[in-house]
Structure 1
């Protein structure tokens, strides 16, 4: 035997006196890794394997039921080992909720993604399971901290270290906003979310603050406070998504909502006065433009009317002059042919024009009395009788 008695003591755990070996007792320094320390003295006896097994069996009897013999003790060990193994294997069952996805790891590597329901994977430490909520929409707030008082009242407090930002025209603006985000519901997105970043909420908050500062830094304060909020929100969401994709964070940005955009509290009153003055200026400018839009077309219309009337008068005068000259030429030609007849005719036509529009009184010197000859205005009577006839026919 390798542990046979030899002069000077033998074996790897040499003991001194009468107590050599790793399992032996006795005074002095007993040897062996489980003793009180190796004995550097003389020789000793080798360990008894049968005695070692007997002592182990005796100790197991105090723990296992049905002790009494070596065979029963070994059966008890097997039973306990089987029960422990079954219990360990049973811990591999897990439940995935409806809004979750199960991610199974075996020896630290992703093996499978499981749907909602009861599933099984190797128990710890061989296997491990993560169940992230992929359908849950999370919310991260920047620039504001909400606290609940003892009475249950929710109060919001500004965090100026996060909310104060510098605009493109070198003004300071106080911006509070929140980001709605969720886990990308893809295999790679879920794995990236679980294993590429340690604190997703803190990462989203840092990226959101950085993106908002970049977008606000490229805009003027008037546009930020008035009509440009929607485009700023869209630009921030796009920039955040690009950054998170570069990080392979497995996060999808749903929406960015600007909740508060104000000047700093120290100058907000003066800034509101400036904004009111600008609003008045814009209102007066709009009124002036509306008045100009009303007056200018009217003036242009009147000018065009006068111009058209002048052109018409010009054409009329030219046409009348041309006609008069042609008429005079024609009359002159007839006058050269028959001067007496033409002169008489001109005289009669002139009297017709002059006397045709005047009231007529005819005096006959040969009649007795006053000499006034009664005159019946047939033309006037005919005109008056024609007017009622026309009205009657119209009805």
Structure 2
């Protein structure tokens, strides 16, 4: 017969456990026992009606426990997002939105917050030996700088955005180096290669929506293997010398050409000025001749005398010696006016007045007859 058949409850294993008719523990009894023990600790007396007090005490303790737990739970939900970050909110593992920097609150054990740095610029290097277009091996070192612009795509678009970016950088760098000559990589084509790597990298990461933006690409170094480094250094030095000589020649040409053009322009201007001067002088002579001609036709003798006097005045104005005809003698005397003026200036500087005798003035007299003097003047007038 089974132990749980009607009328045979003495065989219940819970009541007869240990042979003492014990049953399963009752929650009310457990709370009553706890209340009695607490009352005993604080000096209270247990009575027959103590079961009601135990029940009330258990309810109060449970309420206090719930209130304390609620307060702790509420305070545990506060968290802070830094100024440079943005928080990704996951509720039961599902994306529900983002939170801005500052103090925020979440449901503890329900929400999870992932902070993402949105302002810092990060570095990522890449280097290695690569094969160029002309089948040479070169070691290239390049570094990129990037920043997070979309926190959701950065976390959820791929498994690891930075690892994907690193692999994309290696791919773009090897593709560009493989389509370039070694001379361009080592010398003059570094900027073109940098721009090409930047464009190729952006093209590769665009379909993945990594939530990243490339800020800059730095071409740090490019060098051949150590076994052939000396030969390449010599070749690079020769190319640099070639470029330097070309720049010096261009600078010399730029310095000589303007001076030559200026000299040509000056000669042209002088020629034009000389031409203009000659033409104007000729026109002035013609105009003067046209004015003198009527006067000469009216009084030829007077006009000849006036022309003679004007000519002699012009001639003597350019000489430092004067010829004087002394009346009553047969001598023609020459006065060295330049020496007279020089001695006069010297005396003025010294503050003394000196008079030089005639023989010291180097006065040159030559005997001339009156007839010769008159013939000389007449020939000059003619």
- The two structures have a TM-score, normalised by structure 1, of 0.54
Instruction: Give the whole-Å Cα distance in 1 for the aligned partners of 2:233 and 2:322.
Output: 86
The 5 Å alignment of 1:243-262 reads 243-262=204-223
In 2, are the aligned partners of 1:207 and 1:240 still within 8 Å (CA)?
Answer: yes
Summarize the Cα distance change of 1:197–1:95 in structure 2 as closer, same or farther, 3 Å threshold.
farther
Q: How far apart in 2 are the matches of 1:113 and 1:68? A: 62
Secondary structure in 2 matching 1:178: strand
> Which of the numbers 141, 144, 153 marks the counterpart of 2:125?
141
In structure 2, the partner of 1:69 is 22
> What's the offset of the Cα at 1:221?
6.0
Counterpart position of 1:104: 90
- The question of 1:305 aligning with 2:289 is answered no
Cα deviation, residue 205, structure 1: 1.0
The correspondence of residues 213-362 of structure 1 with structure 2, limited to 5 A, is: 213-214=174-175, 225=186, 236=197, 240=201, 243-354=204-315, 357=319, 359-362=321-324
Structure-2 separation of matches of 1:76 and 1:172 = 86
Relative to 1, partners in 2 of residues 1:121 and 1:249: Cα closer, same or farther, differing over 3 Å? farther
Change (3 A) 1:250 1:340: closer
* Residues 122-146 of structure 1, C-alpha deviations (whole Å, 9 max, x = no match): 4xxxx68463553676554322xxx
> Pick from 108, 114, 117: which aligns with 1:131?
114
Tell me what 1:178 maps to: 143
Distance 1:353 1:95 in 2: 115
2:328 alignment counterpart: 366
Q: Deviations over 1:189-241 (max 9, x none)?
A: 33x44443223332121111223345556777666556776776576556545
CA RMSD of aligned residues (A): 5.3
> C-alpha distance in 2, partners of 1:225/1:142?
17
More helix by share: 2
Contact 2:326/2:333 (8 A) holds in 1: no
Counterpart-to-counterpart distance in 2, 1:138 and 1:350: 97
Q: Distance between the aligned counterparts of 1:208 and 1:129, measured in 2?
A: 32
Deviation track 1:281-318 (CA, whole Å, cap 9, x = no partner) reads 22222222222222222222222222222222222222
Distance 1:296-1:231 versus aligned 2 partners, 3 A rule: closer
Report if aligned partners of 1:165, 1:175 keep a CA contact under 8 Å in 2.
no
**Deviation string, structure 1 residues 87-129 (Cα, Å, up to 9, x no partner):** xx999x78867567464342x533465777774444xxxx684
Aligned to 1:146: none
Segments of 5+ residues of structure 1 without an aligned counterpart are: 1-44, 78-85, 144-158, 390-395
Alpha-carbon contact 1:134-1:183 (below 8 Å) kept: yes
Residue correspondences, number: 299
Q: Structure 2: where are the runs of 5+ without partners?
A: 31-65, 349-382
TM-score by length of 2: 0.56
8 Å CA contact 1:233–1:257 kept in 2: the answer is yes
